[in-house]
Amino acid sequence: MAAAEAEDGQLSPRASLSHGKPLHPGTANRQISFMDERRGKTPPKRSSRGRRSVSQSSTDSYSSASYSGSSSEEDDVSPREKHQTNAKGFSDFCVKNIRQAAFGRREIEIAEQEMPGLMALRKRASGDKPLQGAKIAGCTHLTAQAAVLIETLVACGASVRWCACNIYSTQNEVAAALAEAGYPIFAWRGETEDDFWWCIEKSISNEGWQPNMILDDGGDLTHVMFKKHPHMFGMIKGIVEESVTGVHRLYQLSKSGKLTVPAMNVNDSVTKQKFDNLYSCRESVLDALKRTTDIMFGGKHVVVCGYGEVGKGCCSALRGLGAIVCVTEIDPICALQASMEGFKVVTLNEVIRQVDVVITASGNKNVVTRDHLDRMKTGCVVCNMGHSNTEIDVDSLRTPELTWEKVRSQVDHVLWPDGKRIILLAEGRLVNLSCSSVPSFVVSITAATQALALIELFNAPAGRYKQDVYLLPKKMDEYVASLHLPAFDAHLTELSDEQARYLGIGKAGPFKPNYYRY
């Protein structure tokens, strides 16, 4: 379903994916407003204070009588108000607490052991430095796995500045470890709306440093640079984007003729769709739900909204634990796939009063509306596995007649006047990265794909890529897969000359045409 376009060809701020109507009247003129659509209502800004030291203790105020504003455990002192330096006096960063660096470094080392493909790429590429001269502005989930990617890019010759694409997915200790290593990192868990955009600005602009490459997850950094720093945007050599949301924005720019640089759509590469989206979600959705709710899935009625690769992974995992799973879909092909796998395809209205768990995985908006929420039975768990938090209408729950109770970090009870309560996870944000973590091995596949896309765009001769959006070449997809096969002691069969001629392909690949559906 195509998104609404603004007059300038951009995806309109607060635009509905179906109707293009603003979510909140009177706010459409804000210069940067995608975050309200993706992350819900803007938390209240902190009062102005002087800069504090890193040793100041934190407090967590919360009132159970009304909406709390956030379920995160926020320090009362913003990292922006602290003066921090690493052991070498470096201060071009903003993280929660630099003293957590040692702990974060150990987490990064654990991730490295489970990311063999990316580490192999680092070893192979660090000699000839294919990213020498690249200045990469990055906006991704700031996790241990992302740290391995960042340090791989630096080992390949790049310089970086980095921020987080989600206000709740940052691992503070990992951000501290990267800052301690001397990287300009601007991210912490529980950022406010204002913090989020401030961090993006800090990752873009710095005296004496101007990015020439973008690695984005969601399109927010690309959007800010396009809207606020057009002179910088025009000097970018390439953009690599890995999310449905960000890719959609790039196609909107391309369609309107305003995309002035080549971009690589990593989200639709085989190694992203068939591994990260499917296998990562198959494992991480259960981890997130178990950690937050301690729920037993045997016999529970679960509805998964969307049967793309993410939905397929979620359904497979939930059925494996004995849950009774049904699916909602708009696409007849995906619906037929779900049916052939034995899942009942329904509309949400048919089952909303009976289900125990609702999981959105569609990439759309307002999939779960206030009307649905009103009709859910008490104790229903509601969460989102899509990249953006537009799928659940969380804003509709921030009203005086409903009470929010914080249960634990990223877990809220929302209480109705009659005593009914639902359990909302991560305020509708990406539940696996907000409430748990994802398997490092699968992230290694995606991260290697991102690194290769950056190398390809940065080193491509003039004219190879126009001002358009491209899929990752199939040969690179196959190379990424080959980097990970040794971990399984897998041995590929080699074609004979006769077999290669018969199939009409090279002995070294690529082995499938671009239209092949894995």
pLDDT tier at 36, thresholds 50, 70, 90: very low
pLDDT tier at 388, thresholds 50, 70, 90: confident
Residue 35 has pLDDT above 80, yes or no: no
Q: Is 308 marked as binding a ligand?
A: yes
Q: Is 242 marked as binding a ligand?
A: yes
Q: Which amino acid is at 330?
A: I
Edge-first strand listing for the sheet containing 357-360: 344-345, 324-328, 301-305, 357-360, 381-384, 421-425, 411-415, 403-408
Q: Is 222 marked as binding a ligand?
A: no
Tokens read off for 516:
């092949």
Q: Is 309 marked as binding a ligand?
A: yes
Edge-first strand listing for the sheet containing 238-241: 185-186, 159-164, 135-140, 213-216, 238-241, 263-265, 469-471
Cα separation, 344 vs 336, whole angstroms: 10
422: number of Cβ within 10 Å: 21
Q: Is 489 marked as binding a ligand?
A: no
Domain covering 79-272+438-488 in this structure, CATH number: 3.40.50.1480
Cα separation, 412 vs 288, whole angstroms: 14
Q: In 14-74, which residue ranges form alpha helices assigned H by DSSP?
A: 34-39
pLDDT tens readout for residues 104-116: 999 999 999 999 9
Cα separation, 186 vs 221, whole angstroms: 13
Residue 4 has pLDDT above 60, yes or no: no
Q: Cα angle vertex 381, ends 379, 383, to 5°?
A: 160
- Return mean pLDDT, the chain: 86
Q: Is 9 marked as binding a ligand?
A: no
Q: Is 456 marked as binding a ligand?
A: no
* 486 neighbors 116 (Cβ within 8 angstroms): yes
Q: What is the pLDDT of residue 125?
A: 86
* 236 neighbors 212 (Cβ within 8 angstroms): yes
Q: In 70-192, which residue ranges form alpha helices assigned H by DSSP?
A: 101-113, 116-125, 144-155, 172-180
Give this prediction's pTM: 0.79
pLDDT tens readout for residues 320-361: 999 999 999 999 999 999 999 999 999 999 999 999 999 999
Q: Is 401 marked as binding a ligand?
A: no
Q: What is the pLDDT of residue 127?
A: 85
Greater model confidence, 303 or 59 = 303
Cα Rg of the chain, angstroms? 23
Q: Does the fold of domain 278-435 match that of domain 79-272+438-488? A: yes
Tokens read off for 472:
């990752």
Q: Is 208 marked as binding a ligand?
A: no
Q: Is 374 marked as binding a ligand?
A: no
Q: Comparing C-alpha atoms, which of 199, 183, 180 is closest to residue 191?
A: 199
Q: Domain segments of the chain: what residues?
A: 79-272+438-488, 278-435
Domain covering 278-435 in this structure, CATH number: 3.40.50.720
Q: Is 432 marked as binding a ligand?
A: yes
The β-bridge relationship of strands 381-384 and 421-425 is parallel
Residue 237 has pLDDT above 70, yes or no: yes
